[in-house]
Amino acid sequence: MKIVYRAANLIEADIVAGMLQSRGIEAEVGGRYLQSAVGDAAVHDFARVLVSEQQYEAALAVVAEYDSTSASSVSSDDKDPSFAALGIFSKPVLFWLVLLLFMLWFVLGIPGFQSWVAM
């Protein structure tokens, strides 16, 4: 067995292996149990797609096609010039903004709260 593709994670390795299998190339995902030994930590370079030596050249062609389509789907022409693309409306920023607004409303907006704090 030869390594034909090193995936970023097990999900991508399963996708590539499934694509190879759909084209009649027997493929296995290696490193599945190594990643579970580490736990929930974000581990890279454990997931590999393995094929037999006889089918290696055909698998390389399919993987090259996969790489070209995945690289072209994230081209610089597709960048969104809006505010959201800058990360201003990302989930952590919105979370802290809502929390800050809630705290301000709680401190400044509840009637009688200032007299309770002054006690």
- Name the DSSP class of 80: -
Tens digits of residue pLDDT in 3-24: 999 888 888 889 999 999 999 9
Identify whether residues 52 and 68 lie together within a single domain. yes
How far is 83 from 92, CA to CA, in rounded Å?
A: 15
pLDDT of amino acid 83: 52
- Look up the pTM and report it: 0.55
How far is 43 from 32, CA to CA, in rounded Å?
A: 11
Tens digits of residue pLDDT in 35-92: 555 555 555 667 889 999 999 999 999 999 888 887 655 554 455 555 555 566 677 7
Identify whether residues 35 and 93 lie together within a single domain. no
Identify whether residues 24 and 60 lie together within a single domain. yes
Structural domain boundaries, residue 55: 2-74
pLDDT of amino acid 4: 94
Identify whether residues 10 and 55 lie together within a single domain. yes
Contact 66, 51 (CB under 8 A): no
- Name the DSSP class of 54: G
Task: Please name the amino acid found at residue 36.
Answer: S
